[in-house]
A and B are shown apart, each in its own frame.
Chain A
Amino acid sequence: SAVISQKPSRDICQRGTSLTIQCQVDSQVTMMFWYRQQPGQSLTLIATANQGSEATYESGFVIDKFPISRPNLTFSTLTVSNMSPEDSSIYLCSVQGQGREYFGPGTRLTVL
């Protein structure tokens, strides 16, 4: 199994600012995944972060809005840039192992 931590756990931000979310895993993993979960909705994959290369973004998500870093095999960051109220969501990172997915506790973001 994998233990994942995220920082911050929650934040309230002003429109137009940026927030960087950190994700730390207790073991080395090849890929990390970033999801968004809007209120009352399911999980939507934002991008897949592979160590040593650029992240792969899903349709509807772009690097300028959600830049991702993956400096090593246990850590990744997701930045939500130029935020608007529509970005208010829970942001989750995850890793996969043994045929299943392990999630962090999430970062609850509220944009005013």
Chain B
Amino acid sequence: EAQVTQNPRYLITVTGKKLTVTCSQNMNHEYMSWYRQDPGLGLRQIYYSMNVEVTDKGDVPEGYKVSRKEKRNFPLILESPSPNQTSLYFCASSLILPRGRTEAFFGQGTRLTVV
């Protein structure tokens, strides 16, 4: 079954304590990305990766890091979390198929609270 798996689903942490949210996909997609969802703002892209060792900033990258050492994994790292990073986070992977079609999958979401 095609899927994107995020862990953990829920996380409460304290300001300044480094954390990592993992993301793994089993579809051999080259493109992966992270989004955060905030009320009234929809989902906004944090970082993306077009392939192994190729990452770039999205629209709201401040305070986040990513890495892409393997094609299937794309972890999101918060070196020093702050309360304004309290949000719902989604990992996504996608692929543009022949004949103009596309497939895209989202993880289950990670609810992060920083106190």
Do A and B originate from a single complex?
Answer: no
- B residues near A (Cβ < 8 Å) are none
